[in-house]
A and B are shown apart, each in its own frame.
Chain A
Amino acid sequence: MNYQWNWGLLLRAPYAGWLLTGLGWTVALSIAGWLIALPLGTTIGIARTSSSRWVLRLSGFYVSVFRNIPLLLQMFVWFFVVPELLPAKLGLWFKRDLPAPEFWTAVLALGFYTSGRLAELFRAGLQAVPRGQRMAADATGMNRAQALRYVVMPQALRIILPPLTSEFMSIVKNSSLALTIGVLELTAQSRQIENFTFHGFEAFGAATAFYVLVALVLNLVMVCLQRTLALPVAV
């Protein structure tokens, strides 16, 4: 094995900057994707508990499409296929004129993929809230929307908080797939450093450390949130 170790290189310009911008893109991808996934996932999740047959079928199909196709393939579809199916002008705008088209394409792919997973999570959470809660809300004269908003959803959210956190961790990890369509996020930057310096071990080590750090921070945030939101009585 002919390999020269040089950990100091990671702190040198421009590589330190590359890693940090990479981390920045990873965070941006994750948050932007999450902002699409959360409202979509919540809506579809509620639809999954609907009593209407058609709403159930449609939302079920939505979830099964986004969950049964690998994210990498979904990313390729958003990047290579969708712009070609749009009207020519819009497609061109999507490919070129949008600031950072690769980034937004990846955000869409991440957002829709994650929304399918969140929908299942919300469905499970909503169904886990005891029926009596909904009935009690009915009895106090709330309509269904009010019951959902003020009684069922707050409890469901508390139930799914831990898996919701791990879904956010998943989106952070999944954002690495954006490198296949040219977004220079953390994993891509570490590979770029490896390519320029041929010090792959140091570069991948740094990326690993950043991901572990992000996971640790997320874990702490979740623990704090759980404490803050905990109800005086057990749900």
Chain B
Amino acid sequence: MFVRKISLLTVVVAALLPALAGAQEADTALARIQQNKAVTIGFRESAAPFAYLNESKQASGYSIDICNRIAQEIGRKLNIPHIETRYVPVTPQTRIPLIANGTVDIECGTTVNSLGRQEQVDFSYAVALAEGRLLVKKTSGIQDLSDLNGKIVALAAGTTAERYVRAALDRNKINVRVLQVRDNAEGLLAVNSQRVDAFVNDAVLLGGVLRTAPNKDDLAIVGKPLSFEQVAFMVGKNNSGLLTIVNGTIARLLASGELHRLYDQWITPYGVPIEGEVDTLFKIEAIAE
């Protein structure tokens, strides 16, 4: 009986799969936006200062401010007056599929650009740089990656941190045990409850965690940056029309200095000001009209 069930199942699944693949049309996101008269923005709920739910439970942050301007620009380009902006919460686990399947038009969070991800989605110009660092308790005495031998480290599931941390640990022959945590809040909790010795993530995100931590005086962000990565917005593959508007808006905001103002408002207080690599990046990306 089971054999028959299974063979039937196989037939059903095999019949369904090609139907799902569908045709690859260009600029489906813009068509969708035109039809709904709304831009759907995917945002992170606890990734301050890039994107988070504020006290009145609304999406806010650096990435959200930029994306709202992008949405207005899309409205102008498509001749949609009073274009609506919808917000869909995403997590590190769901953001890529939600872009790929069209639930979200633009993902505005803290996603890092990588070649692997470019197989499924396209990325905008970078709006910030991510540097991986360590959040530790001051009493732990941990100063750098080399102090982590034999210790336990928390990594947020579904982020690139996992890969670069593992690479850095292998390079330096450091032996640690890794605990996967769901998000930044849980990473802080793991450090505070001494479940782990360090939480590795982007310095700005860690700065955000630190600012809201009830015991911020006991904690410190330490270590040389483990990596430099581009923080960018995601759009679906084959959406060059949408991507052009997104990138154009970022370039114009950079040229007019408005993006610097937003950056200083949101990001600089977290200990990563516009200098060095960030400054260079912003100069290069301010492409002329």
- Residues of A whose CB lies within 8 Å of any CB of B are 1-5, 80, 83-84, 92, 95-96, 101-102, 180, 182, 184, 188, 191-192, 194-198, 200-201, 212, 216, 219-220
Contact = CB atoms under 8 A, between A and B. Distances in A.
Given A180-B182, A182-B179, A4 B120 contact: yes
B2 A216 contact: yes
Contacts of A3: 20-22, 100-101, 120
A182 B180 contact: yes
A195 B92 contact: yes
Given A3-B100, A216-B2, 8 more contacts: A3-B101, A3-B120, A80-B193, A180-B182, A182-B179, A182-B181, A216-B6, A219-B2
A56 B180 CA distance: 42
Nearest to A94: B195
Interface in B1-36: 2, 6, 9, 17, 20-22, 24, 28
B128 to A, nearest CB: 22
Contact of B236 (A2, A192, A196): A2
A83 B97 CA distance: 36
Given A1-B22, A96-B194, A180-B182, A198 B117 contact: yes
Contacts of A198: 96-97, 100, 116-117, 119-121
22 contacts: A1-B21, A1-B22, A2-B24, A2-B236, A2-B237, A3-B21, A95-B194, A95-B195, A182-B157, A182-B179, A182-B181, A184-B180, A192-B158, A195-B92, A195-B96, A196-B116, A198-B120, A200-B96, A201-B20, A212-B6, A219-B2, A220-B2
B53 interface: no
A17 to B, nearest CB: 15
Contact of B100 (A2, A180, A196): A2
Given A2-B24, A83-B193, A194 B97 contact: yes
Contacts of B100: 1-3, 198
Contact-residue size bin, chain B (C-beta under 8 Å from the other chain): 35 or more
Given A2-B236, A2-B238, A96-B195, A80 B189 contact: yes
Nearest to B6: A216
Contacts, number: 75
A200 B20 CA distance: 13
Contacts of A83: 193
Interface string B101-136: 110000000000000110111000000000000000
A208 to B, nearest CB: 9
Interface string B222-249: 0000000000000011100000000000
A83 B195 CA distance: 10
Contacts of A182: 157, 179-181
A194 B101 CA distance: 14
Contacts of B116: 196-198
Contact of B120 (A2, A80, A188, A191): A2
A200 B179 CA distance: 23
B16 to A, nearest CB: 11
Contacts of A192: 157-158
B226 to A, nearest CB: 19
Contacts of A1: 20-22, 24, 100-102
A4 B96 CA distance: 13
B149 interface: no
B93 interface: yes
Contacts of B179: 102, 182
A4 B119 contact: yes
Contacts of B180: 182, 184, 188
